[in-house]
Amino acid sequence: MNAYFVLFIQQKMKHSISTFHPLTICPCVYTLKLQGDDAVDYYVYVGSCYNLNQRLAQHISGVGARFTREHRFIEIMHVMLVDGDAIAAENARTLEMIAEYGSERVRGGKYLSS
């Protein structure tokens, strides 16, 4: 996924999820920055899906995963199209994020679900 595409997604998310339709059905892994709490100032959430528009709308509106309902969406950090197993790619991305941000801050994949 190139940086231009990620910036395009971030700009569109600032406006309206209903006007954003570059990806309908394709496997992808996404990384979100979420509001923190008393433990940390922000969290990194890794997820995978086959309909990015729908899944991001769920997270942002508060009907997505329990962790994203409890911690407000701040921004999209990264989106990666997957050629193959999206769950395996989510797990790999989660491990990368743990290495970069620490296990106390990262949620996602089979390693740190909540």
DSSP code for 84: S
Is 0.85 surpassed by the pTM of this model?
no
80: nearest Cα among 91, 70, 95, 90: 90
Angstrom CA distances, 37 to 7, 42, 47, 56, stand at: 27, 7, 20, 21
SS3 label, residue 86 = helix
How does pLDDT run along the chain (114 residues), one tens digit per residue?
444 445 455 554 544 444 445 555 789 999 999 999 998 999 999 999 988 889 999 998 888 888 989 999 999 999 999 988 999 999 999 999 999 999 999 999 887 654
Q: Give the domain ranges of the chain.
A: 25-43+87-114
